[in-house]
Structure 1
């Protein structure tokens, strides 16, 4: 599939995104190998420490050099044009180990083939730069890893030197993008693992409807909830990555903000917001109102049922226990786990087959009722997470604080996974604020509508405080390309 997105140039003074970099290569204003050198230098910078578990330097350079030779020969360039893309250490890359950030898998054999998602990225011309760090087995929204070290949040460090968490579980992937070591990061989202680090680092994370992207060749956490998706620098980059990973052409629509009907659920998702998140979220809603968007507060009381549905640990506990139980039964292997991850996995041991079957029935009923309640909305708006990135040090030493903060970070984004819906997190903070994510979401199959609304909101936010891509990065820039 030939996926090309309209190549507007980046506005002066703004960090370029992947689409603008592809444009620069196509137009001969940059070479893929030069941009890869810049990505490698960023990966070597102390700000990117602990983001990567292993680097794929030789193959990435070969891809970039091949792209440059193809351009010199006048051939058509692939959609990603030899640019750096990082891979979460859950996905198989041919010739590399896949270890899920875990010590217990340190002796895993090398993969004999790329998983489908990686193969699609490679076919699209991505220079695969390495496997990135993560919460062990992707089981935390905070991003700590006791085996490989935890990458500090590089975005918050520019405003405050106190180290803050990167967000998880796709911690290293987000840091690789925030630092410039990659233009996009392949990751997974089971309860917010793409959107949480995107929100805490001022990036874009798009969780698509689960069935649209392949999950083979990926170490699972919860097959019922796991979704293959990406972290990017802009919403239009998210459109491009989704098109590649899902092997489909998104059908975007151009609608003025005044034509949009947006819902703001107040059950659960607005509880306990810190002052920075509350202010940024309300300012964004006011901007949308001023632009003519129709905003409606809705109760959506079904969200209040989530704690009861997941009281025993939910699908993640039950399904992760099924995958890990043999290793955890061996004391020599069990002691190699992150104790906090092992504790959460072991919750699944007490979930019976009847409990698990009942949970599936309850979920289907819950989805039906939520979809009925939100029918007629173009999208729903919520804060991605209720807080800015927490300071790291207290979470390293205190288990009660760790589990409390982890639950808060997962609370809002996990709604979308249980719904089997789709959601984008995009930055909505002012330049002098710690990052805040706005979550634009909808039910299963609403991916293109969510992306279209996200593009329009991103353009509005840029016009207001220049905290994102140029204002002409809206949906109309993406509609005239062939696939």
Structure 2
């Protein structure tokens, strides 16, 4: 049995070999990680364990506070910010569970945009093919798990920022029901929509990390048999413009799930999506809340060293009057309740996490129109779970030339049940 310390040293030496071109990690905690690994090995020798995360090598997105250092959130503007007074709530919980935190992963600036590019700290190449985009905003998180430089990576998800990189890098990504996991010490984008969740190789690793972060006791994940489950397929706008390979892989997965005894039926939610779009036509909730987070530098009028893909939407949202924002929140509350009622007839929804696979980094840089279109497609399916306050998971689909995820979405608060069903789907696929 390889010790945790030996596994850690292998990863650190891999990272040292590419240090001159490191884009996945923005910071390494080599000494602290070694101490945590040694402590975990010592517990193992003594027959003591702190639970399923004990000795897991973990990375965290560069928007979680670590005591004594500035939280840069993928931006140059925050490099000289005041150091955090204490660890983010989830960082403290993960340390207590014996996780070995190896470093902070790169992200898109201020967790905005889904492509995964960062003009300040570089764009991490996709774990499957480094010439392709990683997906965002938890870009380094998806790549670190996909390439094996962490077992589990913690990201945040406001419109798909965990599930998009999970889908494009061929790993599992879980977005819990918002507010189940505390946001204390996480740099905000949208207080209403932000969720904190894990990316990992397996559903059980995601479930263990999620339980620890939510302050629950991580129990053995008992899979739920698929026989008799009702699975709704939201065909319609969410199935437009799907790459052939992604569509074929999705239908293959559905076939396997149906053979296992699940009942599959179309369940349209297009009317809800249209109403949500109408309710946020003048500005998305994420952009309006983000504009408040960044109000000071946006109002200063001085050109800030911020990616125009980020500063543009934020500065436009900053000009919207308060009634527009309040009305959007009020309408969302009604739509969240209506969606909960709509989903009462099924155990979960299934759809592709992303309708497309990862395009090349070069193509995104060369063609602004293609970049905007791709970003819209990457966010289209995942953001439904944030908008309607649901929980969701993306699992790698077998049989695609490039990675793409199967997304399962469940009602608000049904996180444990979703994870248990996902464990069975994972076993099946």
2:56 matched residue in structure 1: 83
Alignment of 1:160-199 (within 5 A): 163-199=131-167
Partner of 2:415: 447
The CA deviation at 1:201 is: 0.5
Question: Aligned partners of 1:313, 1:77: CA distance in 2, in Å?
Answer: 45
The Cα shift of 1:41 comes to: 3.0
Instruction: Note if contact 1:156-1:435 (Cα within 8 Å) is conserved in structure 2.
Output: no
CA deviation string 1:201-249 (max 9, x = no partner): 0000000011210001111000010001111111111111111111124
CA distance in 2, matches of 1:41, 1:74: 29
Deviations 1:362-410 (A, max 9, x none): 1011112211111131111011011001111121233322222111111
- 1:254 Cα shift? 4.4
Distance 1:177 1:202 in 2: 9
Note the alpha carbon deviations across 1:405-430, whole angstroms, 9 max, x for none: 11111111100001111000000132
Aligned to 1:472: none
Q: Does 1:289 align with 2:262?
A: no
Shift of 1:352: 1.3
Cα distance between partner residues in 2 of 1:331 and 1:356: 22
Matched, 1:153 2:126: yes
Q: Does 1:414 align with 2:383?
A: yes
Q: Identify unmatched segments of 5+ residues in structure 1.
A: 1-28, 158-162, 462-483
Contact conserved, 1:97 with 1:108, CA < 8 A, in 2?
Answer: yes
Between the aligned partners of 1:390 and 1:308, the Cα distance in structure 2 is 30
- 1:43 equivalent in structure 2: 15
User: Quick one: structure 1 residues 133 and 55, their matched pair in 2 at CA, closer, same or farther if it must change by over 3 Å?
Assistant: same
Structure 1 segment 455-470 matched on structure 2, within 5 A? 455-461=423-429
Q: Which residue of 2 aligns with 1:106?
A: 79
Q: Residue 148 of structure 1: SS of its match in structure 2?
A: coil
1:331 Cα deviation after fit: 4.7
Query: Residues 255 and 326 of structure 1: is their aligned pair in 2 closer, same or farther, counting only changes over 3 Å?
Result: closer
Find out whether 1:224 has 2:196 as its counterpart: no
Q: CA deviation at 1:75?
A: 3.4
TM-score w.r.t. the length of structure 1 is 0.85
CA distance in 2, matches of 1:250, 1:83: 14
The TM-score normalised by the length of structure 2 is: 0.95
Between Structure 1 and Structure 2, how many residues are aligned? 426
Structure 2: runs of 5 or more not aligned: none
In structure 1, what is the Cα distance between the partners aligned to 2:144 and 2:312? 29
The offset of 1:46, in angstroms, is 4.5
The structure-2 alpha-carbon separation of the partners of 1:45 and 1:164, relative to structure 1 and needing over 3 Å to count, comes to: farther
Q: State whether residues 88 and 187 of structure 1, in contact with CA within 8 Å, keep that contact through their aligned partners in structure 2.
A: yes
C-alpha spacing 1:75/1:374, structure 2 compared with 1 (3 Å): closer
Q: Aligned residue for 2:393?
A: 424
| Whole-angstrom distance in 2 between the partners of 1:40 and 1:210 | 34
Partner of 2:2: 30
Following the alignment from structure 1 to structure 2, what is the Cα–Cα distance between the partners of residues 78 and 38? 23
Match for 1:246 among 206, 214, 217? 214
Query: 80, 94, 108: which one pairs with 1:135?
Result: 108
- Deviation of the 1:328 alpha carbon: 2.2
Preserved contact between residue 24 and residue 140 of structure 2 (Cα < 8 Å): yes
Native 8 Å contact 2:113 2:309 kept in 1? no
Q: Distance in 2 between matches of 1:263 and 1:289?
A: 12
Alpha carbons 1:196, 1:384 under 8 Å: kept: yes
Partner of 2:90: 117
Equivalent position of 2:279 in the other structure: 309
- Worse-matched range after superposition: 393-402 or 81-90: 393-402
Q: Partner of 2:356 in structure 1? A: 387
CA distance in 1, matches of 2:114, 2:79: 23
1:261 aligns with 230
1:339 corresponds to which of 283, 305, 308: 308
* Contact 2:74/2:110 (8 A) holds in 1: yes
Note the aligned Cα RMSD (angstroms). 1.8
Give the Cα separation in 1 of the matches to 2:12 and 2:18: 12
- CA deviations 1:63-109 (Å, max 9, x no partner) are 11122223334433453223321110100011222100101111112
Deviates more, 1:236-245 or 1:67-76: 67-76
Q: Are the structure 2 counterparts of residues 360 and 104 from structure 1 closer, same or farther at C-alpha, using a change threshold of 3 Å?
A: same
The 1:164–1:68 alpha-carbon spacing in structure 2 relative to 1, beyond 3 Å, is: same
| Equivalent-residue separation in structure 1 for 2:218 and 2:95 (angstroms) | 20
